[in-house]
Amino acid sequence: MMSLLLNTQVGAESTGLTPGLIALIVVLGVLLILLIVVLILVPVGLWFRALISGAHVSMGRLAGMKLRKMPVAEIVGEYIKAKKAGIVFDIDEMENHKMAGGNLVRVVNALIAANSARISLPLEDAKAIDLAGRDILTAIQNCVDPYIIDIKNIQAIAKDGIELIVAVRATVRVNISCLRNGAGEDTIIARIGEGIVSAVGGAETYREILAQ
């Protein structure tokens, strides 16, 4: 028995592994595993890019977005873009808008374009218009530069029973508040058509319309 105990002690001493050293190795192993997990879950490159761009995003938030299978690169990229342009758009709101099926890139570009053109576009309006299926960026561009709508084959009958087929070319400038209320190009075409039918229908003869 004494011989066995002596051999065990000699074996431990020969390896040089004291209890303190073993504990240190275990701690370092755990830290190494944690580091590997962080590197897997956190896109460190994106985190560093956001940090140096003045649009800090915590590693925990990045890991959470990745676990939720969100497009982390897109969201962080648009967050950085908005920050640099002076647009107040919280990254939580960006993620929520993306989860709701919105086009985040288009909304951010629209907000930047509106800000540059000094057009009032509240964030909530921009998100609502985008979620309604409207192209908010094109709408902002059309606020600055009007566009042409050609409407053909509008049929209307004057009071004398003569039918006219009318073609109209209209210049349109977008009103952002109307977009949120649901008015789009189809609404404009419908209203123009209604106006023409009403005008022709109110004429005593078709000649009155032709004279105009």
CA separation, residue 160 to residues 153, 197, 206 (Å): 20, 14, 7
- Cα–Cα distance, 17 to 50 (Å, whole number): 44
- Looking up tokens 């530069």 gives 145
- Cα–Cα distance, 72 to 61 (Å, whole number): 10
Which two tokens mark 51? Answer: 């940090």
Which two tokens mark 48? Answer: 């560093």
Alpha helices in the chain, H assignment, sequence order: 2-15, 19-41, 44-52, 59-67, 72-84, 91-99, 104-116, 123-131, 136-144, 176-180, 185-201, 206-211
Find residue 4's DSSP bridge partners: none
Q: Which residues of the chain fall short of a pLDDT of 50? A: 1-14
pLDDT of amino acid 107? 95
- Cα–Cα distance, 165 to 107 (Å, whole number): 40
pLDDT of amino acid 1? 41
User: Under DSSP, is residue 18 helix (H, G, I), strand (E, B) or coil?
Assistant: coil
**Average pLDDT for the chain:** 81
For the chain, the farthest-separated pair of C-alpha atoms sits apart, in whole angstroms, at 128
- Cα–Cα distance, 170 to 45 (Å, whole number): 50
How far out from the chain centre does Cα 156 lie? 43
pLDDT of amino acid 39? 63
CA separation, residue 164 to residues 151, 170, 190, 191, 212 (Å): 14, 19, 17, 18, 13
pLDDT of amino acid 2? 39
Which two tokens mark 41? Answer: 């879950």
User: Under DSSP, is residue 75 helix (H, G, I), strand (E, B) or coil?
Assistant: helix
Amino acid at 42: V
- Cα–Cα distance, 203 to 190 (Å, whole number): 20
Contacts of 115 (CB under 8 A, 6+ apart): 85, 86, 87, 121
pLDDT of amino acid 38? 62
